[in-house]
Amino acid sequence: MALLHLTFAPCPLNRLPMPGADEAHVWLVDLEAPCDNWLSPAEQERADAMRHAEKQRHFIAARSALRLILSKYIGGAPEQLGLATAAQGKPFLDMPNAPQFNVTHARGKALIAVAHVPLGIDLEFARSVRNLDRLVENYFAPEEEKILTSLPNDQRAQAFLAAWTRKEACLKATGEGIAGGLHRYRVTLRADEEAQLLSIDGNESAAQAWTLHAFAAFGDGQAAICAASPSLAVQGFAL
Ligand SMILES: CC(C)(COP(=O)(O)OP(=O)(O)OC[C@H]1O[C@@H](n2cnc3c(N)ncnc32)[C@H](O)[C@@H]1OP(=O)(O)O)[C@@H](O)C(=O)NCCC(=O)NCCS
């Protein structure tokens, strides 16, 4: 798979300059590492309502890491940052000229992306996929279905997950979430192709306003980042 080669530098201790106009920072977070709890009362209420202990622990760790990371860019106490949630669930900072960010978590790991422009990030780990053909038929564009069904069986699940990650990063960038329609965002999915958003609702020039990158994270994790910018350099940090 033609992936962006991303390395993750140790966490800078102090304030950080915001990424430049065509840049994003991606933070790698281990949700099992000990951390402070920086949740707001509303976030704590959400955590308290979670019945699954591991899910609760990971939500607290991811949200606390997000608050700590954002405070490195804008200053202030992590627990006092004004995080709000848009209609379809995308969290944002409720302040003028706020940095844009997005979060993904899976299997006790999280990626947090920060930039000037709206962006989305997604992470999936290699696994077998049940009902793959039905998912492809329901959620992918006909051209994508043709490519995926032509792949040998042993390559299909990986190509499917790579494509899903890319599409979901796009839908998280716009804030629509999966309900926005995975089939509307056509992406590259051949192993020898770089990640690219090819069209939105069949419109190729609309896709050129966005940059999509795919990269490996946490061993066998496949990740994708999509941002509202025609070019995007990505720098990695580990918390
Ligand atoms: C949001 C969504 C894309 C997450 O997919 P996922 O693979 O399960 O989870 P990920 O780990 O990649 O991302 C989860 C994070 O994305 C962010 N997020 C939530 N909704 C989002 C949206 N519409 N757009 C972008 N980011 C979103 C949150 O930070 C969330 O983390 P949190 O729950 O700890 O706050 C998917 O659940 C979805 O599309 N939901 C549709 C919207 C919805 O049902 N909303 C119901 C609540 S209002």
Is the model more confident about 114 or about 7? 114
CA of 102 to the centre of ligand 1 (A): 9
Q: What is the CATH number of domain 123-227?
A: 3.90.470.20
Q: Which of 106-110, 117-121, 136-140 is least confident?
A: 136-140
* Tens digit of each residue's pLDDT (9 = 90 or more) over 29-54: 999 999 999 999 999 999 999 999 99
Q: What is the pTM of this model?
A: 0.95
**Mean pLDDT of all residues in 79-105:** 95
Distances (CA, A) of 177 to 33, 75, 86, 167, 211: 28, 29, 11, 10, 18
Which pLDDT does position 18 carry in this prediction?
93
pLDDT at 185: 96
**Phi and psi at residue 203, to the nearest 5°:** -95, 110
Instruction: List, for residues 144-173, the tens digit of each pLDDT value.
Output: 999 999 998 888 888 999 999 999 999 999
Rounded (10°) angle between helices 41-48 and 53-74:
160
From 3.20.20.70, 3.90.470.20, 3.40.50.720, 3.55.10.10, which CATH number describes the 8-119+234-238 domain? 3.90.470.20
Ligand 1, residues at Cβ distance < 6 Å:
59, 62-63, 88-91, 102-105, 120, 122, 168, 172, 175, 177-179
Nearest-CA residue for atom 32 of ligand 1: 59
| Ranges for all domains in the chain classified under CATH 3.90.470.20 | 8-119+234-238, 123-227
Q: How far is ligand 1, taken at its centre, from the CA of residue 41, in Å?
A: 20
Give the closest residue (by CA) to ligand 1 atom 33. Answer: 59
Residue 119 pLDDT: 98
